[in-house]
Every structure is written in structure tokens, then in C-alpha cells.
Chain A
Amino acid sequence: MKRIDEETYYEILEVSPTATAKEIQMAYDHAKETFHSESLAIYSLFSEEEISKIQAAIEQAYRILMDEALRKRYDQSHFQTAGGQEWEKPSEMEGIPWEKRASLSFTDLAAHAGEEIYRGKTLRQIREKMGINLKTVSAETKINMKILEQIEEEALDRLPTLVYLKGFLKGYAHCLGLNPQKVIDGYIQFLNESKKK
């Protein structure tokens, strides 16, 4: 029973200390969805002040854990005692990868569209935070580098047609561990909004 300011960054995001960038990204998406002020799941439970505290903690945890150097420094100061002893793991959800937890035995389940929009810029930011370069994405997804660049650059006039674009977005999302539908919906919403302008 820890207060939010006593929790480790891992506990704040409910991930294990060995979580990958992909898992942290998913956990962050979940936490953001859960603790935004309009969220149904927390209705009537927290005071406004408590929510903003939690939101700030989530952002801070995400910022540190997604940065390799900062995370390393944090781990050193928090988990290794003077004698270089064992890591103290948070009791919650020890070592269960986020993806497995999220699916549990629920069939047909995936994180679903939030209010945030996955436009090209966002995708690039996430990818860079995960430390994955575009070449790797291209190799893994077999999507042409140029197309990936166009997606990220939001090159509206050069993007492939919608059917293909959806397929590419799906592959890209999978590669980053993001929810494909969420990415596709977000990107298309972004396209529609840009066209109006």
C-alpha cells in the first residue's frame, strides 16, 4: 500500500523492472487512458488533486523509463543497494510481460482508441523513444523505407492509397507494439482533419 510518491517508476506504470520499451509504451498508453480526468473507470474515486498527482507521476515515469540512459541511472540508484545486492522487485505483477497481462484469457481484446491521435509525428516520436531505427522497422515489416518515411513525415500528397496505407500502418504498429486499430483510426482521423484545413 504505497502512495504514488513512494512507488517506483515501474510500479507507477505497473510494469516489471525488466520491461521492454514496447511494454512500457503499452503500459503508458493504458495508464494515460485510465487516469485522464474524463476516464469512466476512475469516476468518483479520486479527487482532482489526486488525479493530477498520478498523471504527473505517470508522465515522469514514462519520460525516465523510455530514455535508456536515464533509466539506467534510475535503476542504479533505486534497485542496487550499496553492496550491489539483489534487485528489489515490486510485488505487483512480477515479471509478467505487459502484453500477456493485457490479453489474460480474454479473447479478442486489444487496447482501443483513446483520445490521443497517432499521427506521423507521434509514431516517429514513439519509435525514436524505443530506440528503433527506420531501417529495422523496414526490415521487420518488409515495408519500403520511403513509404515509412512518408508516413512519418505526413506527406499527404505522396501517401499510398487508403487500402495500402492501412496495411502499412498495421505492420508498422505491430512492429512498435502499438494497437494496430488504434494507430489506423488515429492516422486516418488525422488525415481527414488535415484535408479539411
Chain B
Amino acid sequence: MDETQSEDRKIIWTIGGGKGGSGKSFITANVGICLAKSGLRVILIDADLGGANLHTFLGISPPALSLSDFMKKRVSDLQDVLIPTGIPNLQLLTGAQDLLNAADAKSVQKQKLVRSIQRLEGDYILVDLGGGNSLSVLDFFLMSDGGILMVTPEPTSIENTYRFLKSAFYRRLRQSVSSHPVKTLIDGAMDRKNEMGIQNPHDLLRAAMRTDEEEAKKMMEETESFRPNLILNQVRSKKDIEIGFSIRSACQKYFGIRLHYLGYVVYDQEVSHSVRKRRPLVLENAQSRAAQCVREIAAKLAGRHQMFLRFQQGES
């Protein structure tokens, strides 16, 4: 009973989407530190299977133990591959550098990993997913309580983010239905040049309605409950900040989903200074403008945690 309770209370956030360099590892490390400093037990997971370097953002050397020890069954308990970061309340689980193909890991293995992550002891688990749209990355993104998209105000970043969001959105819809014909429709919708003339989620829903009304309703419910989050990074002007709100409106019109604009981080030289020094920004230069932005985002996440706990206590 105790175990299930502790399982229920932790919150998992995944940080993904966009492209390399949009700041996923930066935000994971620094938000994690802020949360840990406020007394929450935080575990950071570097699941960027191709380019794990969260440890560098934290200023520690590449750990001897990693996720691959667990995946290859050298260590039986995921808890045992967690390593201290030198920051109280903050532990790190690093990615599998030598397990590049883990992105295509068998689904049984993936499910086992996901379950193990959910059993870890902590209040907060932040998972840095790295870039890419592989199915395992999408599944990780969707497994979490909240998926966070990191975007910079550049067309390349925005294009990749929408590509990622589309893949995640359709995958989520696909997982919610069981009818084979509807699944086929969803697969078709992924390809814009499909022969069914499905150009966007609205077309897909219409087609699904004609095929199987019950399943279409499920898809609508899934759309309603899908609430990804957005952080805009390297913001240089007020106009850049506004882009976050515009992305929210665009997602509402295109997908019918409610995107939550979690916050933004201003472009700040101090960020690259801190990275070069291999010292986390919020510790190295807590007064910098970017660090203030990070703290604001962390406070929002912690606020949600409080709400979540209160809600749970109210229920039990």
C-alpha cells in the first residue's frame, strides 16, 4: 500500500521535441536544481540516448553507472544506478551512451523501463529526452504527467516542434482506439500526401466519424485531455515572448489541443558562460536574467506539485 502511494505522488515531466540546442538539457538541469533547493526530492534522467550530457550541465564527470547497466541487467534495481550530484536532494540517472539502438528497444524492455522509472523514490522526476521523433521518444513523452516542449523562436526549431507534436498527437490518438480501420486512418493522416485526403486533425476526425463513431468520440476525449507544455528559450524581445501565445493559439486551431505556455527564458550570455565553466547557471549566476526565468518556471512546476498533493490528500 505504501509503495503504491509513493508511486502515485511523484510527478514525471519529460522534456522533448524541437531540435538539438534548443535547451532541453539546460532547462532539465537548472529547473531540477531549483526544485531540489526548495526541498523536493528530484531525480534527473538523461534519456537522450544518442547524446547524453546532462552530467556536464551539472558539472560532474560521466558516471560509471548508467541506464545501460540496468537495460543489460547488470544492475537489477534502477534505484541502484542513481548517482549523487553533489547537490542535496538531487540525483542523476544517466543515459545509455553505448546503447544507441535503445531507441528501437523492444517494447517489453521499454515498458519495464517506464515502470521502473515510475517506481523510483522521489517527488519529481525530470526526463531529458533529447531530440528526435523515434517511437520510444514519443512513448516517453506521452507516458509522463506533463510533456514539455522546448522551442527557440526560429523557423527550424518551430518546424521540428510541430513535427514532433504531430507525431506525438497522432500516436496518442492511435493508442486510444482499438478499431483497426481507424488505426489505419490515423496512420494515413501522418502522411500529408495520403490518398484519403486527410490534411489535418479535423479531416482525420471527420473520416473517423464516418468509420466508427464510438472510436471518434474516444479520439475527441484524448484531444481534450492532451495538454502539452511549452517553454520558449533564447527569447530576445517582447515580440519573441508573444510567439509563445501565438503557438498556443495555433495549436488550438490546428489540433484542438490546449497547450500550456509554461514560461520563457531570455537569451543571456551568462548561459553559455556557465556551460563553458560546467557550472549550472542557477548556482553560478543566480542573479542573471536567464536564471530568474528558470526559477519562475520551476516555481510554476512546484506550484503544480503542491496542488497535486493537496488534491490527493483531499481524495484519500
Contact = CB atoms under 8 A, between A and B. Distances in A.
Contacts, number: 83
In the complex, which of the residues B223, B237, B247, B255 has the most CB atoms of chain A within 10 Å of its own CB atom? B247
A106 B249 contact: no
Contact of B261 (A34, A50, A104, A113): A104
Interface string A75-117: 0000000000000000010000000001011101111110000
Contacts of B50: none
Main secondary structure of the interface of A (DSSP, over half): loop
A111 B163 CA distance: 27
A195 interface: no
A166 interface: no
B162 A40 contact: no
B250 A42 contact: yes
Given A40-B153, A43-B159, A109 B241 contact: yes
A183 to B, nearest CB: 14
B242 interface: yes
A197 interface: no
In the complex, which of the residues A3, A35, A45, A104 has the most CB atoms of chain B within 10 Å of its own CB atom? A45
Interface residues of B, number: 37
Interface stretch (B82-90, B123-131, B183-191, B198-206): B198-206
A112 B153 contact: no
Contacts of B261: 104
In the complex, which of the residues B199, B202, B205 has the most CB atoms of chain A within 10 Å of its own CB atom? B202
B256 A2 contact: yes
Interface residues of A, number: 32
Contacts of A45: 162, 250, 254
A30 interface: yes
B205 to A, nearest CB: 6
B158 interface: yes
B296 interface: yes
Given A31-B249, A40-B153, A45-B250, A106 B263 contact: yes
Given A40-B158, A41-B247, A43-B155, A105 B300 contact: yes
B162 A44 contact: yes
Contacts of A35: 249-250, 253
Nearest to B258: A92
A66 B121 CA distance: 55
Interface string A1-19: 1111000000000100000
A1 B201 contact: yes
Interface in B155-174: 155, 158-159, 162-163
B245 A30 contact: yes
Contacts of A34: 245-246, 249-250
B225 to A, nearest CB: 12
Nearest to B303: A105
Contacts of B247: 41
A47 B199 contact: yes
A67 B262 CA distance: 35
B52 to A, nearest CB: 29
B196 interface: no
A88 to B, nearest CB: 17
Contacts of B254: 45-46
A2 B209 CA distance: 13
Given A3-B202, A104-B261, A106-B263, A39 B246 contact: yes
Interface of A: 1-4, 14, 30-31, 33-35, 39-47, 50, 54, 92, 102, 104-106, 108-113
15 contacts: A1-B205, A1-B224, A1-B255, A2-B202, A3-B202, A34-B250, A39-B246, A41-B247, A43-B155, A44-B155, A54-B253, A92-B252, A102-B245, A104-B261, A105-B296
Interface of B: 153-155, 158-159, 162-163, 199-202, 205, 220, 223-224, 237-239, 241-243, 245-247, 249-250, 252-256, 258, 261, 263-264, 296, 300
